[in-house]
Structure 1
Amino acid sequence: MKIGHSVEVANPYDWLPAHGESGVKMLVEGSDLVVTVSYDSEDGIREKKMRFHSICAFHVQAFPGPSLFVDESVTSSVLQGALVEYPDSEMAAAWEKHFGGARSVRHYSIAFLAENLILIIFGDGFSEEN
């Protein structure tokens, strides 16, 4: 399915050190996906959480690697470690149709460059937590 253009939503490199994360953990809490990103700081290891609300699907794979989506190679922001949203994603539209328009579904993607992982999420929103 086509994903369309990407829009940068957040950039973890605003708070990550230049060498990136030192670890990534994922946990499903109710209908939310909580991604805990560990990183080095002057005070030792710190953590920051990224919460994806009301998820209906998520996928983790090695990065770089082949993609399930058409046109993903054009998303330069995700290649630099930013969280991006695809507002014209056919898969997000298919999920919304599946739910009969009763819920909003957004398509997100983020690459964890030091961990060599890419995370693809379909959910209702995103927030950062300390």
Structure 2
Amino acid sequence: MSDQDYAVGYGRPPEQHRFKPGRSGNPKGRPKGSHNFQTLLADELHTRVAVTINGKTVRLTKAELTIRQQVDKAAKGDPRAFGLLIKLMGLGGPQSAAGIGQAGVAADQTELTPEQLSQILLSVARDRLPQDAS
């Protein structure tokens, strides 16, 4: 094909202005090792912090601490925290969904009756309360 047969136009730049073989159209590009949102969030959630639980100082990851706080809020009756907790348990796979089934709720059920909700909250609260020293 000669130079005269080549039609220059939209999507067909002149040959002298095309990218040369082996050269990128974005030479600076994204730097190697730069982090995206998911990586930054995962790094932050794995950071350990010191917290006091039942008079003892323990080091937990921020993810563990967040989950504990959501469970505590749900146990106190916060419906939004409880809904989020149910969704998070569904994301965990069949083992976490089985935990819901043990409390009297089918794993595929999306709406709870008041009796089921109170039963789940009582079982969560029972697990979170300190045991008597008897």
Shorter-chain TM-score range: under 0.3
Compute the TM-score of the two structures, normalised by the length of structure 1: 0.22
Report 1 or 2 for greater relative contact order, CA contacts < 8 Å, sequence distance ≥ 6.
Answer: 1
Which one has a larger percent strand, Structure 1 or Structure 2? 1
Compute the TM-score of the two structures, normalised by the length of structure 2: 0.22
Which one has a larger percent helix, Structure 1 or Structure 2? 2
Whichever of the two has the greater Rg, that structure is 2
